[in-house]
Structure 1
């Protein structure tokens, strides 16, 4: 679930599919991402490593070829490995197709490099057709024409951001595959990523009194204009955006339920370990921020995690600290795969019910460089406020069940007693210096306990990919 924060997915009013999975599987109430945005967080999920080890971040935008991949471990163990991605970051262009037998870029009708989605979304009327015509005659005209029409159709019809199309493809794949072969299937669902555009029927129950769906969809959603001080937003605006976000979660929950039904109809459900996670969360006015950049507050790193199947069935609620880096070895244990070479390079530890591991005392998160950079932000907003430049730094966080420390490369230090201050509103670094020093020393000891993989580099993005990422709010 791309961009799914814990409190909106697993809160007191969890949507029905997720609630049922929690009731019949194992719900993790203290699961944390290793990074607050898509690319480094997915790299941590796949490698079982933290960003400062695997080297994927805003200055090196690809899944480091030197880092290990749990997908390769499943592939080598004889599993059919399949991915369906709705997020451009999670694609072959950024190295995430490594180890997969099939990798479907679900925003395209025919799998190709050329991508007309930005044109379809940003232009109206005759201008849209002019831009699409220019695009069609570049490279492979027939293929470009087909993908352009597909993008145009998706732009004009409905508000699904790829989840239903992904499920339809998976259903066909399940119908066609050899039933005797084990499989590893990965899906990235883009709902509820900005911009929020949920179907009306999933949203109206969440809207504030007196606000229509049409009015809600007119609220500005330009996160970086807001962060840069170029857009005024009221608390009422954010209340409405939170309602739209909840509508996205509700719609995605139904699609996850449909995926489960496809597995049941194919006779696979009883033999499947089914995992639902959020790769990171979202700020919706929290801490003066929108989107999922520039901080390491729990709004971005506390994520949903529920597992059903095998030893996780009827596992109840687990409150111990776990990380998404721990998912890879836990799944290997669930599939009884040894993969010693992969495990030797892990930083994560298995939380499988039968694993012989000690509970975590701390979890860690890293934001290695601002994304977008200040230069990219200045291109989007002509006169950003001086206040925005405070975000031009890297961050690391260490979190226990009681206290959390966030340290910036600019010398800033924030300390929160998260057991009583869940909103992280009261910075206690000045009033509790000994606690801050203790956590800072623990953070330094952790950093000194490992060496990084070989240097990573930026992916070689073509312009179409850059355009689509900008369309999703990622400024390059």
Structure 2
């Protein structure tokens, strides 16, 4: 065992020289310093608790047409929506959550991509499609091992628009077309859609990770709540709307119990939101899509599940294009394409620090009145300070949440305008060709007043519709049109037609009214011609054709040749029902649309006598051989030609 060797005498240390003196001093100081450090050092920390695991499953519930301020947890009153209120109390409720586009399909595509409507360019429920370049949340989740199923409740959410991408099951059964004898929007009740979702979850409960997307349509007009809830809310303002919300709440309570029984509820991230709200008469808007006030853009967002604290209510502005990146983040998946393309961001920092305000603003727009009435586009910005809307030459700025006091000269309006200009100029259009709606008749759809418009992928600027009327200046006309729409939804067709005739008399250039009148008449004749009688059916058919002719002229005057061509084609079909060559020629004049030219051959055959039918059939056959007709149109043409070559009668009108 070695020992420290001591010097033989005091002089020996001195003889070692100054270096040893310094080294000795440093040794002493080091020992003292170490003692001081140990005295001041805090006690060893306990190991940090592990982060809570990411939720295994995702349940995303979107309730169509649900205003935030008509839920109990958002201030409407206790007892109205107890199940949704309970969900909010167990998680996070975002006080100021806004949709960027107050229409069903555009808003839902934003929910599932993180891309605003300005980016994906879907501004229509019927004719626009999600460009392939954008990834969807279900695609990203499926790539990470999730099994994804979707269960939707309305025609506007049917597959084919890109909304179905990434789901192994996309259940839209029963909502593709109006049922026999019905004219209005096909929908599925909440209990039916949720029942299908439960059966799917039961069948896939053994999967490691599940994504279940549920879309409920009940709060959308027409309102048809169960009898007990209808009675409970009778006499209340907007009682039928409130009763539909209460019905959804009741069904969600049963759904949550099923999730608990399956062992999914506590293991899931549950998100509840809406695509848009409902005007309910505010700003002369009964429904939605025409304007961009809080009544139709402020919608609920509730998140419940690990690691979200219970009972928090973040108050800053958040957007529906924040949803997809937030869900991907909370689920702990990469979703690199969602992160790269999203116009929004993850809200995790707000969930971890509820008092944090990220200082976000929401870009809001609607092209609905532009597409259907040739009025100006609406573009806006919603901030914590207020709402600014720009449309045509109209500037609106509101600091109150009900948008009652317009202050267009406020300095904030100018700042918001600069931000809107920046957004329009900075976002590049998608790399896609135009998605053209087919030439097939649009009047057979549940939305006969809407125009079949091409999807626009051109760069946009704030002046592109400056010369057009702002929708707000036509609010009185819009209100009358929406009253007719509501009568249509409620299947009060004679009332609807009477309202439209009066509206057209006062506003002959209102294209939507022309088209809706034609649609109502055509569908009535198809479904009820026996009750109407042949004379009345023929009169309504002629009125519809004349309305379409006028609509085509309105479209041509506004520069929309595509829409005019489709309206002429629809009108020519009705002239064919009537065997009216004069009306047909008026509609077909100077038109080169192949489908329209084919209808001309059908008319000449129908008007021919027995001695000239063979010649008419031969000419039709020769023309068809070289015609450029789409697949479905050609198939129908081939069927008709087969009858003509045999000298048979072409039965085209509903009464034939």
Q: TM-score range by the shorter chain?
A: 0.7 to 0.9
Query: Hey, what's the Cα distance between the residues in 2 that align with 1:82 and 1:465?
Result: 32
Residue 121 of structure 1 aligns with which residue?
Answer: 182
Residue 75 of structure 2 aligns with which residue?
Answer: 11
Aligned with 1:284: secondary structure?
Answer: coil
In structure 2, runs of 5+ residues without a counterpart are 1-62, 449-487, 491-511, 520-656
Asked whether the 8 Å contact 2:370–2:376 carries over to 1, the reply is no
1:26 Cα offset (Å): 0.8
Q: Which has the higher contact order (CA 8 A, sep 6+)?
A: 1
Query: Hey, what's the Cα distance between the residues in 2 that align with 1:331 and 1:300?
Result: 24
Q: Does 1:62 align with 2:126?
A: no
Asked whether the 8 Å contact 1:62–1:459 carries over to 2, the reply is no
Asked whether the 8 Å contact 2:370–2:377 carries over to 1, the reply is no
Residue 206 of structure 2 aligns with which residue?
Answer: 179
Residue 233 of structure 2 aligns with which residue?
Answer: 206
Deviations 1:393-415 (A, max 9, x none): 2111101112210011x121100
Deviations 1:114-137 (A, max 9, x none): x342x33349xxxxxxxxxxxxxx
After superposition, the Cα gap between the structure-2 partners of 1:301 and 1:334, relative to the gap in structure 1 and judged at 3 Å, is same
Deviations 1:283-310 (A, max 9, x none): 1111011111210000010001111111
Q: Does 1:261 align with 2:290?
A: no
Pick the aligned partner of 2:277 from 270, 275, 281.
281
Residue 223 of structure 2 aligns with which residue?
Answer: 196
Query: Hey, what's the Cα distance between the residues in 1 that align with 2:395 and 2:327?
Result: 36
Query: Hey, what's the Cα distance between the residues in 1 that align with 2:352 and 2:160?
Result: 37
Q: TM-score, normalised by structure 2?
A: 0.55
Listed as ranges, the matches of 1:70-469 within 5 Å are 70-107=137-174, 115-117=177-179, 119-122=180-183, 161-208=188-235, 239=237, 242-352=238-348, 353-354=351-352, 359-370=358-369, 373-374=372-373, 392-408=375-391, 410-417=392-399, 421-430=400-409, 432=410, 434-455=411-432, 456-458=434-436, 460=438, 467-469=445-447
1:358 Cα offset (Å): 7.2
Residue 89 of structure 2 aligns with which residue?
Answer: 23
Query: Hey, what's the Cα distance between the residues in 1 that align with 2:393 and 2:137?
Result: 36
Asked whether the 8 Å contact 2:325–2:346 carries over to 1, the reply is yes
Query: Hey, what's the Cα distance between the residues in 2 that align with 1:90 and 1:195?
Result: 17
Asked whether the 8 Å contact 1:51–1:368 carries over to 2, the reply is no
Aligned with 1:287: secondary structure?
Answer: helix
Query: Hey, what's the Cα distance between the residues in 1 that align with 2:423 and 2:165?
Result: 29
Query: Hey, what's the Cα distance between the residues in 2 that align with 1:465 and 1:63?
Result: 23
Query: Hey, what's the Cα distance between the residues in 1 that align with 2:183 and 2:84?
Result: 34
Aligned with 2:307: secondary structure?
Answer: helix
Deviations 1:245-291 (A, max 9, x none): 00000001111112111111111111111111011000111101111
Q: Which has more helix, going by share of residues?
A: 2
Residue 481 of structure 2 aligns with which residue?
Answer: none
Structure with max Cα Rg:
2
Q: TM-score, normalised by structure 1?
A: 0.74
Give the aligned CA root-mean-square deviation in angstroms: 2.8
1:347 Cα offset (Å): 0.7
